[in-house]
Amino acid sequence: MGKMRGAVVVDEARCKGCNLCVVACPTDSLKLSAGEVNHRGYAFCQQVNPDVCTGCSSCAIVCPDGCLTVYRKKED
Amino acid sequence: MLTREEIIQPQNLVAEKPALMNNVDMHYCPGCSHGVVHKLVAEVIAEMGLEEKTIGISPVGCAVFAYRYIDIDWQEAAHGRAPALATACKRLWPDRLVFTYQGDGDLACIGTAETIHALNRGENITIIFINNAIYGMTGGQMAPTTLLGMKTATCPYGRDPRLHGYPLKITEIAAQLEGTAYVTRQSVHSVAAIRKCKKAIRHAFENSMQGKGSNLVEVVSTCNSGWKMNPVKANEWMEEHMFDYYHVGDLKDTEVIR
C-alpha cells in the first residue's frame, strides 16, 4: 500500500519562530533554524527531515501566522 | 520515491494560509492564540461564502488591528462598545453576518454592560471572546479574568480574592440569559481543540444568520508575553491551570435542547 508523503513550504519572512509547529509535528520533520534569522530577527521554521513528512497538516493548523503551506500525495 | 517537486503541485495542496487573510505581517507576539483564531474566522467566513456579507467589529486591546488582517468589512469600536456597534449593524443590515472580536479586558471589564445587554436582547450577532486572563496590550496587568494566585504586573504577589475579587466567568453568566442561542467555551492549544473551535465558530455564525439569537464563543487563550513564558510552555500552563477554572465545552445550545 502506498504511504502518504507530504511537503511543507515555509513563508520564512512571515514566520516568528514560535516553535508551535515543531512541537505539533508528529514525525519530527520540522525544526527552527539555528543561527539563521529572517529580516525581523526571528529564527524560522525549516523542514529538516522531509522524507518522514506525511502531510498531516498539524503544523499548518497550529501556526498562528499562517506561514505554512502543506502538500500531500500518495506514493504509488 | 516521490521527489519534493512532485509533491508540491497545486492538486496536492491540503493546507495553506486562508485566502481571506491579508499578506501584512501580524503584530501579535510569536505564538499568540489570536493568530489561530483569526485564521479560523477567515476560514469559516470563506467556507460559508459570506466574504462580501460579513461585518466584523474590532475591539480595543491586542486585537485592535484585526481589521488589517482579514479581508472583510470592519468597524472599529470604542473600548468595550463592540456589541453595541454590532447591534446597530445587524439591525440595519439583517442579511449580514455581524460578529465582534474582543479580548477579556474589552469584553469582561469595560464592556461588561454592553456585552451582557446585547446577549440578553438576543441580538443575532456572534461575540468571539478571547480570554487570556491578562491585559496583554498594556503590559500584562491584572484582568477581571485573572486566575486566583496568578501573578501579573499589578498583582505581583498573586491575585487575592479579598483584595481583587474573584475571576469573572462571563460565559457562565451568558448561558443564563434568555437571549443567547449558543454559548460555548473552546481553546486553540492543540490540533483537536482548533478543529473543535472552528466547528463552534461555524455553528455560532450559522445561528446568527438564521436569526436564532445571540452567540458567544469564548476561546481560552494564551498570552505568552504577558505570562512571561515561551509559547509552548504557555500552552502547557493553560492546560494545567486555566481549564480547571474555565471548563471547556458547550454551556448552552438551544438546538440541542429542542
| Strand ranges across the sheet with A4-10 | A4-10, A68-74, B13-15
Domain boundaries, chain B: 28-257
Q: Give the whole-angstrom CA distance, residue B42 versus residue B22.
A: 10
Confidence at B257, pLDDT banded by 50, 70, 90: low
A63 and chain B in contact, CB less than 8 A: yes
Q: Which residues of chain A have pLDDT under 70?
A: 1
ipTM of the shown complex: 0.94
Whether the Cβ atoms of residue B119 and residue B91 lie closer than 8 Å to each other: no
Q: Tell me the per-residue pLDDT of B57-89, one tens digit each, with 9 for 90 and over.
A: 999 999 999 999 999 999 999 999 999 999 999
Q: How far is CA A40 from CA A44, B29, B136, B174, in A?
A: 10, 12, 21, 42
A74 and chain B in contact, CB less than 8 A: no
Query: Which residues of chain A have a CB within 8 Å of the CB of B232?
Result: 19-20, 23
Characterize the bridge pairing of strands B214-220 and B180-187.
Answer: parallel
Query: Which residues of chain A have a CB within 8 Å of the CB of B46?
Result: none
Would you state the cell numbers that stand for residue B8, as one nine-digit string? Answer: 508540491
Closest residue to B7, CB basis, from A5, A40, A68: A5
pLDDT greater than 90 at residue B116: yes
If you count residue pairs, one on A and one on B, with CB atoms under 8 Å apart, how many are there? 96
For B244, residues 6+ apart whose C-beta sits below 8 A from its C-beta are none
pLDDT greater than 60 at residue B258: no
Q: Give the whole-angstrom CA distance, residue B29 versus residue B12.
A: 31
| Domains observed in chain A | 4-74 (3.30.70.20)
Q: From chain B, which residues contact A within 8 Å (Cβ)?
A: 1-2, 4, 6-9, 12-18, 21, 25-26, 28-36, 39, 190-191, 194-195, 230-232, 235
Query: Which residues of chain B have a CB within 8 Å of the CB of A58?
Result: 191
pLDDT greater than 90 at residue B52: yes
- The residue among A10, A15, A18 with the most chain B CBs within 10 A of its CB, best to mutate, is A18
Q: Tell me the per-residue pLDDT of B194-231, one tens digit each, with 9 for 90 and over.
A: 999 999 999 999 999 999 999 999 999 999 999 999 99
For A35, residues 6+ apart whose C-beta sits below 8 A from its C-beta are none
Query: Which residues of chain A have a CB within 8 Å of the CB of B239?
Result: none
Section B165-171 average pLDDT? 95
Q: What is the pLDDT of residue A76?
A: 79
CATH value of B28-257 in 3.40.50.620, 3.30.450.30, 3.40.50.10540, 3.40.50.970: 3.40.50.970
A49 and chain B in contact, CB less than 8 A: no
Q: What is the pLDDT of residue A1?
A: 65
Q: Give the whole-angstrom CA distance, residue A61 versus residue A69.
A: 10
DSSP E strand boundaries for chain B: 13-15, 54-58, 73-76, 97-103, 126-131, 180-187, 214-220, 249-253
CB contact under 8 A, B31 and A70: no
Q: What is the pLDDT of residue B2?
A: 86
pLDDT greater than 90 at residue B50: yes
pLDDT greater than 80 at residue B23: yes
How many residues comprise chain B?
258
- Residues of chain B above pLDDT 90, percent: 97
No. of helices (H) and no. of strands (E), chain A: 2, 4
User: For residue B40, what is the nearest residue in chain A, using CA coordinates?
Assistant: A61
